[in-house]
Amino acid sequence: MRGCGSRLVWLLVLSLAWLGPALGGEDEDEEVIEEEEKEEKEDEVLTDEIKEEDNVLVLHEHNFARALSEHQLLLVEFYAPWCGHCQRLAPAYAQAATELRNESSPARLGKVDATAQTALATEFGITSYPTLKLFRDGNRTHPLEYTGRMDSQGIVRWMQRRAGPSATLLQDTDTIAAFINSQDLVVIGFFKDLRGEAAQAFFEVAVEMVDLTFGVAEAAELFQAYGLSADTVCLFKKFDERQTNFPVDPARGLDTAEITRLLRAHSLQLVMEFTKETSDQIFGAKIPHHMLLFLNKSSPEQLSLRDGFRAAAGDFRGEVLFVVVDVAGHGASVLPFFGMTAADAPTLRLVRMKNNRKYQMEQDDFSDSAVRSFVRAVLDGKVKPHLLSAEPPEDWDTQPLKVLVGKTFEQVAFDETKNVFVKFYAPWCPHCQAMEAAWEELAERYKDHEDIVIAKMDSTANELENITIHGYPTLYYFPAGPGRKMVEYKSSRDVETFSKFLENGGTLPEEPPVTKAPGNSTGKEGPSTPQTDESRDEL
């Protein structure tokens, strides 16, 4: 192909030489230069030279193998130039690359434009942007998925753990004491055999939990110094209980998932305060329930309620996270989620995190015994969730587009004589706003159809017992008839596609097969474009 390109340029030059006097000359010279520049760019892409942008390796199918062979640890971001998430990650990714480069780490960062390098995108199964994969020791067939935070510090720590020892070897009492005092939280694994299965499992945990500092010890004197007689993982803290022991089961060994869960749960304070600095810890701990005390910290009377709250918390460590929320501080931002105002404080709420179900005492009682009893009743399934509902607008059913609230949803959506199409939205969601005109036009189109209802519901102000909305907008179709059926709509958000869906009874008709067209010798569509989640705002 390169020779063919050169001949074309040569013929072009000859033809311009012949025609130059008649055509003027200058424009033709520019065309020749542009053609030559284009060919030079094509030649550049075909080499295995590795260029860098802000210390990030720019990779493509011709230099990828070289990059793997030259770098022991290579984290690669597969991105799309138009992807907003990728654009937001770019500065942090470049900063992380620079930090690793400056510390002479064997870890390097690279990037691949997956929209241009489709062969690489297909090889590594890229289905969303950005996707980060770690290639170790040139292994191209089994890259590791990136599991860290999407910020510069998270990327650096995640790579450092894989570049060096995941845990520090502690050999004497002075060293271990200094290690414990060096951080607010440290984890030390005491193992009688550092080459045994339990110790190896501990090292695996240390690689993944990059936000904690890990050490290991095997000396008998260190077991004795910390009151241990068998393999044990210890969490040392400068708050609450100073040393928490997690003995290794001799029969089962060290369960990596279980010890990870225990370390995350016990690394938090017994009672957390919800602030800008602690919010990531609170939600990142993955504790299944949160018990919240809403109060105004400027009120000494309300502050005193923390004592009973704290006294109850110890019974539920790891299962329920107790959190104090200042309604006059950072906590003011979460009040709408609970349908509350600052005037409602002091009050208590329990949240089941997997579905955001909220539970409320019939009458707030802040004593430790009352709090314990309430939490236990919720965990035992003896308390029904407290569901938010706005009041229905006076004209909610007089317009073509029906406005539903929690109180009216059941009677409309599960009317057995109607086919009901509902948009669940958030007022602040730009994707919801973008499709609002189409949704209103759809309602206008079907306003005279007795058996079709087009509706919408603000899911930030209304909750349903058996339907959980995870992102905005979410569209559900409730067909007429018995059985309380529902179908989630996941196709294009335009009036014509909506109409096809409705006319076909809640499904989209099959499209005819793709026919052979000029420029497509196979008659098949190319691989689908990987998607980001930018078409919907996740909760």
DSSP string for 479-491: -SSSS---EEE-S
Domain boundary among 116, 143, 161: 161
Q: What is the largest CA-CA distance in the chain?
A: 100
| 350 and 303 together in one domain | yes
| pLDDT score recorded for residue 76 | 97
Q: Which residues contact 378 (CB under 8 A, 6 or more apart)?
A: 289, 350, 352, 359
Catalytic amino acids? 83, 86, 429, 432
Q: Which residues contact 307 (CB under 8 A, 6 or more apart)?
A: 368
In a domain, 111, yes or no: yes
In a domain, 13, yes or no: no
In a domain, 413, yes or no: yes
**Domain enclosing residue 239, as ranges:** 168-267
For a pLDDT cut of 70, what percent of the chain falls above it? 86
Question: How much is the mean pLDDT over the chain?
Answer: 86
Label residue 211 by pLDDT band (50, 70, 90): confident
Rounded to the nearest 5 percent, the helix, strand and coil shares of the chain are 35, 20, 40
Q: Write out the two tokens for 535.
A: 């078409």
Label residue 470 by pLDDT band (50, 70, 90): confident
In a domain, 455, yes or no: yes
For 294-306, what is each residue's pLDDT tens digit? 999 999 999 999 9
In a domain, 514, yes or no: no
| 281 and 251 together in one domain | no
Structural domain tally of the chain?
4
Q: Is 318 exposed, middle or buried (0-12, 13-18, 19+ CB in 10 A)?
A: middle
In a domain, 233, yes or no: yes
- Rounded distance between C-alpha atoms, residue 186 and residue 167, angstroms: 10
Is the confidence at residue 22, as pLDDT, over 60? no
| Closest to 285 measured CA to CA, from 245, 328, 318, 323 | 318
- Rounded distance between C-alpha atoms, residue 235 and residue 246, angstroms: 8
| pLDDT score recorded for residue 46 | 67
| pLDDT score recorded for residue 10 | 31
Q: Report which of residues 42 and 506 the model is more confident about.
A: 506
Is the Cβ–Cβ distance between 293 and 305 less than 8 Å?
Answer: yes
| 146 and 176 together in one domain | no
- 56-59 and 107-113 as β-strands: parallel, antiparallel, unpaired? parallel
Is the confidence at residue 417, as pLDDT, over 60? yes
In a domain, 18, yes or no: no
| 203 and 108 together in one domain | no
Domain boundary among 161, 184, 217: 161
CATH (domain of 414)? 3.40.30.10
Is the Cβ–Cβ distance between 150 and 92 less than 8 Å?
Answer: yes
In a domain, 44, yes or no: no
Is the confidence at residue 34, as pLDDT, over 70? no
For 51-83, what is each residue's pLDDT tens digit? 999 999 999 999 999 999 999 999 999 999 999
- Rounded distance between C-alpha atoms, residue 286 and residue 438, angstroms: 38
pTM, two decimal places? 0.66
| pLDDT score recorded for residue 465 | 86
Is the confidence at residue 33, as pLDDT, over 90? no
Q: Report which of residues 102 and 39 the model is more confident about.
A: 102
| 322 and 287 together in one domain | yes
| 87 and 128 together in one domain | yes
| pLDDT score recorded for residue 55 | 95
- Rounded distance between C-alpha atoms, residue 22 and residue 20, angstroms: 5
| pLDDT score recorded for residue 520 | 34
